[in-house]
């Protein structure tokens, strides 16, 4: 179940480095135990980092307004082509233009084209703006994961459900699906998401 939940789009793990990087001052906030919530709140180890999104999100609004396409036909056609190429194993990362690259990065952030198709089959179509914002969050998560110049043993987990629900309306089943996912993920990541973070960088082993 966890293998499906944390695929390469929602979780990036690498073993090139045996030392976990130190957290940048001012860049991230370590998750702290809430004394008012009781002992069941997970205690985050020193090598687990929960990323605060307040400063990151505050810089994004103007970029999204500028980057959004007014041509809905272009968006639909691009997504159709990308999905067909993905199904056939023919995604061309070299020839893709900047617009397609942003869409594809957004799809990666929410779990890949298979996840996108599952939601589409249940009636949920993601908007262009949702994918743009998800892609930018994914890029920021990757940047912080490898901020010491190399990937660490930590993992990157994207909060795919909030990435969608914060940018467009979602059906009730979507919220129920989110609750089930939260029960299956590492405690530290789930705790970070409950605090409103859109991604988590840190230990991805259950029970850590």
Contacting residues for 40 by C-beta, under 8 A, at least 6 apart: none
Taking only the tens place, the pLDDT of each residue in 83-118 is 998 888 887 766 778 899 999 999 999 999 999 999
Q: In this model, does residue 32 exceed pLDDT 50? A: no
pTM reported for the whole predicted model? 0.65
Of 53-62, 165-174, 199-208, the range with the lowest mean pLDDT is 53-62
The CA distance from 151 to 21, in Å, is: 9
Q: List, in order, residues 6 or more apart from 56 with CB less than 8 Å away.
A: 137, 140
């Amino acid at each position: 179940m966890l293998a499906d939940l944390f695929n390469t789009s929602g979780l990036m793990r690498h073993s090139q480095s045996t030392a976990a990087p130190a957290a940048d001052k001012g860049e991230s906030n370590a998750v702290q135990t809430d004394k008012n919530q009781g002992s069941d709140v997970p205690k985050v180890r020193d090598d687990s980092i929960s990323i605060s999104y307040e400063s990151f999100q505050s810089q994004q609004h103007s970029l999204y307004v500028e980057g959004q396409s007014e041509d809905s036909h272009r968006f639909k056609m691009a997504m159709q082509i990308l999905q067909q190429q993905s199904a056939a194993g023919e995604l061309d990362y070299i020839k893709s233009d900047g617009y397609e690259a942003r869409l594809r990065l957004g799809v990666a952030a929410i779990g890949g084209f298979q996840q996108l198709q599952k939601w589409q089959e249940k009636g949920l179509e993601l908007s262009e703006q949702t994918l743009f914002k998800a892609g930018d969050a994914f890029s920021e998560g990757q940047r912080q994961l490898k901020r010491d110049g190399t990937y660490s043993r930590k993992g990157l987990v994207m909060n795919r459900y909030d990435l969608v629900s914060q940018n467009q309306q979602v059906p009730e089943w979507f919220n129920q699906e989110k609750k089930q996912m939260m029960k299956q993920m590492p405690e530290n990541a789930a705790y970070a998401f409950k605090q409103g973070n859109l991604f988590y960088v840190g230990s991805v082993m259950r029970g850590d």
